[in-house]
Amino acid sequence: MARMNSASRHTVAMGAILMLLGVLLGAFGAHALKTRLSSEMLAVYQTGVQYHLLHALGLMLIGVLRHLQTGAMLLKASAWLMGFGVVLFSGSLYALAITNITMLGALTPVGGLFFIAAWVLAVWEMIRKN
């Protein structure tokens, strides 16, 4: 396999960094927050971790696809949307669970829309290339 270009490498690296953070935050929730949060807020936190990890893997996949589909601008946009989706969706759930400030939940659907848009762009890019 040819050496990855820098854009693809950076996308995969960002996904790997998000994976690392997701594992750390998951462990933090399972150990440090388990006794401090209500079961409802712990479930909110765990949902944030679940989507965080899944979309970090998705970001790594987008990086590999960017390597295989050079010049795929929709994949570049998909990567950005997926990364910001993790920050908004999971980040808002983490903050909501820890602070119980319900207004933070207003950011969660925006992050979810970013996830949806990221996947739509990835699908669109793959369909139009065939």
The three-state secondary structure class of 58 is helix
pTM as predicted: 0.93
Q: 16: Cβ–Cβ under 8 A, 6 or more apart, which residues?
A: 56, 60
User: pLDDT tens for residues 25-84?
Assistant: 999 999 999 999 999 999 999 999 999 999 999 999 999 999 988 788 999 999 999 999
